[in-house]
Structure formats: structure tokens, C-alpha cells
Chains A and B, each alone.
Chain A
């Protein structure tokens, strides 16, 4: 028998023997820990599985080993010739444009023109299944096209129908089931349409200044040498303005999103684990109370305090580790379950497997939280006087455990915080989230104690049922603190997330019906500008037409320092790729000069720009600094004349970099426009403009915002699901606290019956008690949740915060529902006992 082997330390032998008592007193302990660890293991495993999926499918997602792309400016034949020496070279182009049916109705699509080699990796799956040539080559008068089933549905198109792109008609030959490199495309505003690259030139969509991304994908002989080849490209064409990506860095935006999302969900999951930690702590406190006699006996028999601590610490750790293992096993299956049952929820197919680093981290968090929440009652048990076995008149006191145990708790908490912040890509967000969680915990605890104090000091109520309900809030062993803190923290999290999401939704919906324009029009040719104005002017119900010139350019250097070497405190994105540029005689209405001044009308001096103030601050720029900006292949040295505060929420055109009109007026460029249209005018404007101007692309604001909303909802589902785990953990803690007080409740209800109370009276008193508890918890959670929501919405997002009734009612309903349901379930059980059976056993 292991528990008798003298080779094993005596404390461990005793711990094993104590475990013979079974795990019945540890159900809540285990439930809380399993739930929290499962959430973290799920999140970690899913994040790693998607990352691994991205890594494993890097070539397929990128569509090659290396991708070279350039915005607006075509890659020259000479450059193509050199690139083709590196391996198989596939040519493609991407742009947003209007697809039209023969009757002229049109919609925005993401158009991709590919050559015969597409795809270099993976498979383009279509219905009916056809090869590249059959899909896209010219047959008779028409090139072929493959379109998204969504577009077919929206425009009531079928295979064999015609689709107009620019100036020519294509024959729909198949519907796209899956594009191998879809995840690499980033945010898309419309459904996919694919055509032959050669056909694109005939559409009339390619003009100077068109917003086209010219892409080359290369399959090299030895993919392991991809970094060397990338370096070779950089060396050969250092100033070509190419964006070069490898299969290791494909879908960079998606990778960043997955990382950030994973990190945020870990924080939310940690909150669930902290809530569970309260249940763990309560369970251990209750267990140690039940073990008082055994502990005192051990001490009487000569066990030192340290031995007693080790005996129970070992037990708790054994049960904790068992719970953690169960949580890990349950959590590691989430990627497989999602891939099997909800494949469309994931951006790429996750690579199935066991991810030891993710599981290890979840286990470590579980272990640290267990230590943090159990060291206090265990430490107190260490100093439990042996005389407790004999004496009960001594006031129990609430002596804190020794300093060593307090340090142990602090060390565990510190390690959790350090890990969460240290492993995060956004340390500030993590620190703020954890600080908010810790402050919320403190406030919830303090409020709960205040409520108990106030309940105790309230004047005696005449109604005995009310008196009993209030007394139950503050009596020794009352569940008030446990319920308010544990359920309150989960609800606070839920309330803040719901309010943040609700405010964002309101804002988006408000923009659609309010200040946002109905349409953005892009690729308006300079030659069409007058006609465009006239056409719009002729449509009834259309107003507020705003036109801005549109160019793309890349910051090459700042004060002589190459952009890639410039040190910044943020806004690196401004330097890392092509940026939208414009010019204007007048300061835009939504902008305000905060430093320097605006150029005078008709300015004709050396090139000058005005920059967004926030970006300029991040980049450390001052008025008078010089930048070299490459526009359409020409390097322009410009001087900063002013900084502007930009109102990004104005939903109009906003540019970080604005040129004086003199510098860019004569450069080839297109125009963009916004307009407002109400009611039927919106449909008329869309149809009229897209039918009149073949190359103009109309982006309907409502659809963009709806897509943003869909994305937000997907994100919100993931966050809410994790937050609900925190509420579940809170429910477990509440159930544990109520169960712990069951015996007292049972005795109390029996005594009340003995003195003449009827069931319904007692039940009403309990109902009132749990109603009070539910309302109090909901009120505090709403207060704290609203505070957190306000801080994020007003201070981080610069959006006006509104207390929305929907989330508030939900929080109150959840709180009341849970407390009353669990409280009354326990009370009904207590009420069903007959006085005799209980009193005989006392």
C-alpha cells in the first residue's frame, strides 16, 4: 500500500490516506477548475491550431512560395523576366469593381484575374469541376468566369449566363466552391469573381491610377530557400516599391488578428478562471473547516504546523492537478470539434493535434490560481491550535496566515499577471484588463461587505419574513460575499462586453441612417468628372456630392532616413506600404489645423504636405521636416507645412497625408466621390451611375457596415462564449456557497415549521432573500460593467457612450434568474424535509 511506504514522506502518506474520504466535497472545486482550465486550453489550442494551419498551408494560402505585389503601377516585362528566373511565375491582378448583368444592374465584386498557372499550390474547386483553361479561356466571343455562389444568388445568375465586367461580357462557366488562397485576400467588400488575366486588359478597367494590385506568385525549386530568394529580390530591386511576402508571412493580417484575438480571449478566459478560483477557495475553506478535528488531532499527536500544511496542500494539489488534467483533455478537443461541426467559423482549417505549449500554459494558470486561492485557508490551518478540539468558547478570530503564505499568494498572483502581460503582444491592453479585473474583484468584495454591514445595522423589521431575509444576508456563513463577488465578476465582464458591442452596433446603425454617405464611388476617371457631376446632379433626392482626387504613394524616407529604418513609437503602418494620397486647396471640414498653417489658395511653391497630427506625433515629426514620397514611380521631396487633427468618425474621405494642389494636380489620377441619397434615390443613384460609367465602382456604405457588423458579431460570439464560461464559473461558486449553507437552511426551516410557520411563508422569505441578492449583484455588475464599457468606448474608441437598456436588462435577468433558481432549488429541498427526521438527527 503506497500510503504506508516509509520511503514516501510522511505528509504525503497522510495526504493519500485523507483522500480516501473521496472527492464528494470537491465537486465545486473540481468543476470550477475544470471549467477555467478547459476555457484556457480551448482558446490556446484553437489559436495554436489555426496558427499551425496557417504555417502548414502557408504555400496554399499565399498561392506560391513568394508573392511580389505592387499597387497601381504594373510590373514591367523586364521585371517579369527577371522574376521568372527564380521559378514558376504566375501573374494575377486584384481590384474591386462592378459586375453587371446584361440588363445593367450591378454590384460590387472582388475581381481576380489569373493566368494559366493559377493556382501554383492547392486547388480551385468549382461546380461544375473544370480546369483552369476550361474556366477562363476565350471560347468564341467570350472569356469565361467563375463566380462566388453568393453573387449568383444575389444577382440570380446561373452557369451559362453572361456577366459584364467593365466593357466586356463574360460567360459564367462555374461557381466557386473554394479558393485555395482566400485567407490571404484580407478584408473583402464583395463576392469573388475570377477571370483570365489577358481578359482584364480588354475590360477597360485598367487605366492610369486604377486601384489595381498587380501580383506575381513564384514557386521556387527549393521552398526552404525562400528567405534567401526574398533577400535576393530585395537586393535586386531595392526601390521598386514591391511588397514581398513569403509563405511564412502569408495572411499577415489574419495572423495578427488570430494572435490578438487569442490573447484577448485568454484574458477573458483568465477571468473565468479567477471566478472559478473563488469557488476553489470557498471549497477549500469549507473542507478545512470540516477537517478541524483531524488537524487538531494530528497536532495533539505531535504533528508540526508545517507537516499539517503539507498534508493538506498535497491533497489540494493532487485534486487540483486531476481537475487540470480533465480540463486540458476537455479543452484540447475544441479545434477538432469546431473544424468538424462549424468549419465555416474558422478562417483556415486548423491543424489537428495536441499543442503542449498551449496546454502547458493553461495548466500553469490553473495551478497558480489554485495556489493563489487556497494558500490562505491552508496557511490558516497550519496555525490552527490543537486545543480547538477541546474548547469552543474562544472567539475563533480571523487571524491571517503567516507571512510566508501571504508571499506565496502574492507570488502566484504576480506570476499570473506577469505571464499574461509578458506573453501578450499588447502589454498595455493586457495590463489594463487585468488591473480592471483585480479592481473589480476588490470593489465587488468591498461592496458585498458593505451590504452585509448595512443589513446588520438596519432597524429591526416588523415583518418577520423581511427580517429573516435581511438577516440571512449578514448571518455568519451567509453566501452574500461569495455570490456578489463570483457571479458579480462574471456579470461585470458580460455587461461591459455587451455594452461595448451594443454601443458599436448603435454607432454603425446610426451611421447608416445618419451622417454616413450612402455610397463611395472610386475609379472615376478625370475625363469623366464633369459628366459624373452632371449625372449625379440630375438624380432627384441625391445630395452632398463630395469629390476628392485619389492617388497612391509610399513614404520612402523621412529627413533622409529610409522609412524602414525610421524609429517610431507607433503608426508604423504609415511607412510600411502604399498610402492613399490626395490634394486640396481647402482644409476638409472634418479636419482641424493644430500646428502650422494651411497653404493659401492657389499655392504654387515647392511641394508641401499636411499630416495627421496623431501619426506625426507617433513618427516624431515636426513642422518643416522633409519626406520623400514615391508617387506613380516618381520620388517627390515634400516639406511638412501643417498637422491636422482628423475626425476619423466623420465617415467621409480622410487622408493622413494631403498634398498641396500644385504638386499633384497634373499627375495621372482618378477621383473618388461620396454622396447621400435617401429612400428610392439610393437605388436610382446606384443604377444610374453604374450603368453610365463602366469603370466606376460603387461601394454601398450600408453593405460595408453590414460586413463590418458581421465581422464584429463573429468576434463578439467568441468573446461572449468565453465570458459566459466566467458566468458559469460564477454559477458554480454560487451553487457551492448555497450548498455549504444547506444544513443551516434545513435546520432553520425545520425550526420555523416547529414554531408554526407554513411552507409558503418560509419560501417567500427565501425568495425575498435571493431577490435581494440577485438585484444587488446585478446592480454592482452593471455599475462596474458600465464604467469599464464607458472607459473603452469613450476613451479608447472616441465614441459617445450610451447606457443601453438591452444589455442592462439581460444582466439583471441573468443575475435574478440564477440566484433565484439556485437559491429556491436549495430552499425547496430544505422545505421538503420533515421536522422529525431533521431534529432526530441533530
Chain B
């Protein structure tokens, strides 16, 4: 089942004939070519493809980190083309959580402070109390005052996950979230991501090389050379997504 066959629920992410071309020293590089795609609220989507296929770039477009060269892109009601950097940052703050392969924790801040950053940016008064709860939720309640350099890779990714979900975003994006972790730790993180997604009914989009990880998603989008070459999903999972969409709409 593809997005176009989904029940009549408003998509939370909608791409229409989106392209991305970047300039480089060697000339323009076409990264994304004429991609159209709808993602429903509550859906879990795996984006797979070889290196350079454009999957991370697609995520960058959907999170407002990159602007489309052409086409329409609406995320949670906001048309991203034309928005300035600050508007996009605000949109991410309000609606989007991102977990990255390299964790990207701020080295001068403790685990607690790292998790509190988006809450503080949002002006939430009890930012540190909430951050502490989120760290508890990812099993790091005992490491809150440790700096990133004092944490293992798995722990750092848990902190990054706690930071991403702390503002309770409607959409959670993961860009190879287990890429820097060993197998067991990676599986534990993925379990945690799916558990949190289920509890909070958020939309989850995972960019990954790992077919087994993608298989856990409702829907798998395969990319090659900047284009979607396959878009499949399992019926049972889509059913759950539909129910979630009805609850949240």
C-alpha cells in the first residue's frame, strides 16, 4: 500500500515534485529529483537506499534543514519553501525532534543540560525537571550530570534521543541513529525509539542502511539516485497508523 492509497486523512508531511540541486566546486549536483510523497500522522517510515541515494537529503528537506530547489513541501501545515532560517528553526523547535548518527551533543554541557536545550529555547520554566524525566525515561537517570565525553556511545545516543523527544514533537526523525553503535546497543536504542513513538503516537521517520530496522516500520521507501524507486508498507502496520491518524486528527 502506498501513501496515495491511504484513507482520507491529511498527511503530516507532503512533498509534491520536490527537487534539490546543490552547487559544489565541481558544478551543480542534483541530489533529489522530482519526489512526491505523503506521510500520515503516526506513521513509521523507513527510508532506505545506498550511500548518495538522497535519503539523508530527503530528511534534511522534511526537517527544514535544507530548502527545496523546486516543488512544494508542507510539514504539519507549514509550507517550508520561502520560510527563512529562523522560521524553520522555530518550526523544528515546536514540531520536530531529530536523532543523528553522530549524536551531536554539545560537549560543554552535561547530559541534563543537553536535554534541556530545546526546552530552554522554548522558554519552558521547568526545563530541567522535564529533562530529568526524559533522561529517566531513556534509562539515564543516574548519569544526568555527566558530560558527553564521560558517556559511552550508547549512552550518548540515549541522551540525544531524550533531547529529541523532550519537547514532545509531533514528528521524530532519525538519521542512521544506530550507525555509530555496536549491534546490541543499536538494537536497544531502536527498541527505545519505537517504544517512545508508540507511547507518544508521534510520526517516526528513520533514515537507515539497515534493512532489518526498516522492516520494523509501517512503510519502507527505497531511494536511488535522488528518486523514490519503491514505496511499500505492511497492512497491519498501516492499519495502526490509520487509527493513530484518526485519533490525532
Interface residues of A (CB under 8 A from B): 3-4, 6, 10, 13-14, 17-21, 293-294, 296-307, 383, 385-387, 389-391, 393-395
Contact = CB atoms under 8 A, between A and B. Distances in A.
Given A300-B65, A301-B163, 7 more contacts: A10-B121, A302-B90, A307-B121, A391-B22, A393-B24, A393-B29, A395-B23
A389 B104 contact: yes
B182 interface: no
8 contacts: A21-B108, A294-B107, A299-B89, A302-B167, A307-B121, A385-B85, A393-B22, A394-B23
Contacts of B163: 301
Interface stretch (B35-43, B122-130, B212-220): B122-130
A6 B57 CA distance: 36
B21 to A, nearest CB: 11
Given A21-B107, A297-B106, A390 B118 contact: no
A385 B56 CA distance: 16
B118 A301 contact: yes
A4 B128 contact: yes
Contacts of A17: 106, 108-109, 113
Instruction: Give the residue among B92, B94, B106, B163 with the most A Cβ atoms within 10 A.
Output: B106
Contacts of A13: 120
A796 B199 CA distance: 83
A301 B93 contact: yes
Interface in B110-153: 113, 116-118, 120-123, 125, 127-128
A414 B123 CA distance: 37
Contact of B108 (A10, A20, A299, A393): A20
Given A17-B108, A17-B113, A389-B100, A302 B25 contact: no
A302 B93 contact: yes
Nearest to A393: B24
Given A386-B65, A394-B22, A6 B125 contact: yes
B56 A394 contact: no
B18 to A, nearest CB: 15
Interface string B34-77: 00000000000000000000001100100101100000000000
Between A302, A383, A385, the greatest number of chain B beta carbons within 10 A of the residue's beta carbon is seen for A302
A394 B24 contact: yes
A18 B85 CA distance: 23
B120 A10 contact: yes
Contacts of A395: 23-25
B86 interface: yes
B175 A390 contact: yes
Contacts of B65: 300, 385-387, 390
Contacts of B113: 3-4, 17
A302 B125 contact: no
Contacts of B120: 6, 10, 13-14
B121 A301 contact: yes
Contacts of B56: 390
A776 to B, nearest CB: 28
B23 A300 contact: no
A19 B107 CA distance: 11
Contacts of B125: 6
Nearest to B106: A294
Nearest to A388: B65
Contacts of A6: 120, 125, 127
Q: Is the interface of A mostly helix, strand, loop or mixed?
A: helix
Given A6-B127, A300-B65, A393-B22, A383 B122 contact: no
A301 B85 contact: no
B190 to A, nearest CB: 21
Contacts of B93: 301-303
Contacts of B63: 300
Contacts of B128: 4
B1 to A, nearest CB: 30
B60 A387 contact: yes
Nearest to A3: B113
Contact of A303 (B57, B105, B121, B175): B121
B32 interface: no
A298 B105 CA distance: 10
Nearest to A302: B93
B98 interface: yes
Contacts of B100: 300, 389-390
Contact of B60 (A19, A294, A301, A390): A390
A46 to B, nearest CB: 41
Contacts of A14: 117, 120
Interface in B74-99: 85-86, 89-90, 92-94, 98
A6 B98 CA distance: 25
Nearest to A297: B104
A304 B94 CA distance: 12
A4 B92 CA distance: 23
Contacts of B106: 17-18, 294, 297-298
A299 B104 CA distance: 12
Nearest to A304: B86
Given A390-B56, A395-B23, A301 B117 contact: yes
B68 to A, nearest CB: 13
Interface in B131-190: 163, 167, 175
Contacts of A387: 60, 65-66
B171 to A, nearest CB: 13
A299 B24 CA distance: 23
A300 to B, nearest CB: 6
A395 to B, nearest CB: 5
A14 B110 CA distance: 12
Nearest to B112: A4
Contacts of B94: 302
A306 B86 contact: yes
A395 B28 CA distance: 10
Nearest to A383: B85
Nearest to B63: A300
A299 B90 CA distance: 9
In the complex, which of the residues A13, A301, A385 has the most CB atoms of chain B within 10 Å of its own CB atom? A301
Contacts of A20: 108
- 6 smallest beta-carbon distances between A and B, as pairs: A302-B93, A387-B65, A304-B86, A297-B104, A301-B118, A20-B108
A6 B25 CA distance: 45
Contacts of A300: 63, 65, 92, 98, 100, 104
Nearest to A303: B121
A4 B131 CA distance: 12
B117 A298 contact: yes
A395 B26 CA distance: 9
Contacts of B122: 302
B155 to A, nearest CB: 17
Contacts of A306: 86
A302 B24 contact: no
A302 B85 contact: no
Contacts of A391: 22, 57, 60, 66
A307 B123 CA distance: 13
A4 B105 CA distance: 17
A304 B89 contact: yes
A10 B122 CA distance: 10
Given A387-B65, A390-B60, A302 B127 contact: no
Which of the listed residues A306, A383, A387 has the most CB atoms from chain B within 10 Å of its own CB? Answer: A387
Nearest to A301: B118
A298 B108 CA distance: 13
B89 A302 contact: yes
B69 to A, nearest CB: 13
Contacts of B109: 17
Nearest to B93: A302
B149 to A, nearest CB: 11
Contacts of A383: 85
A391 to B, nearest CB: 8
A183 B216 CA distance: 93
B125 to A, nearest CB: 6
B22 A305 contact: no
The listed residue with most A CB atoms (<10 A of its CB), out of B63, B93, B100, B108, is: B108
B91 to A, nearest CB: 8
